Amino acid sequence: MDNRILLIEDEPNISEAIRFILQRDGYLVDMHSDGATALAAVAQKHPGMVILDVMLPNRSGFDILRDLRANDATAGLPVLILTARGQDKDRDLAMRLGASRFITKPFSNADVLTAVRELIAP
């Protein structure tokens, strides 16, 4: 099991909360907050999955997801979209672009943990 997760989220309180619950469950969590350099962070960290916010500074999470799916090295990487944009059109776009899961903010810690456990299966 590759239990390294790259959390791409620009809200510090949300990042810290997610990191805490995931580390408590045994995951290694790297954090990144800038959309413009998110793809470079994925390439550098080689995570087992990505948790990706949609509304990031300098680049949309949807654009990042599109690029992850277009690259052979990251096409199969599990990506959990975690966003305040919870309209059906946002969920539909995320799924069309290849999101593995979609969770809206505010979220429950249990929902995030369950999704991560299912996406990073041993």
CA angle 38, 44, 47 (to 5 degrees): 80
pLDDT digits (tens, 9 = 90+) for 87-109: 899 999 999 999 999 999 999 99
Evaluate if residue 122 carries a pLDDT over 70.
no
How far is the CA of 101 from the CAs of 32, 37, 54, 58, 117, in angstroms?
Answer: 19, 22, 13, 23, 12
pLDDT digits (tens, 9 = 90+) for 28-64: 999 999 999 999 999 999 999 999 999 999 999 999 9
Residue 49, C-beta contacts closer than 8 angstroms, at least 6 positions apart = 5, 6, 77, 78, 79, 80, 100, 116, 119, 120
CA angle 31, 12, 39 (to 5 degrees): 35
| pLDDT value of position 2 | 82
Query: Please, how many CA atoms are within 13 Å of residue 84, restricted to the half-sphere of its CB?
Result: 6
Q: Hey, CA dihedral for 29, 33, 39, 41, is it positive or negative?
A: negative
CATH of the domain at 83: 3.40.50.2300
78, 67, 76: which is closest to 27 by C-alpha?
A: 78
Question: How many independent structural domains does the chain possess?
Answer: 1
The two most distant CA atoms of the chain are separated, in Å, by 35
**Helices 38-45 & 61-70, crossing angle to 10 degrees?**
50
| pLDDT value of position 1 | 52
Evaluate if residue 80 carries a pLDDT over 80.
yes
| Residue 19 structural domain | 4-119
Does the pTM of the predicted model rise above 0.85?
yes
pLDDT digits (tens, 9 = 90+) for 5-22: 999 999 999 999 999 999
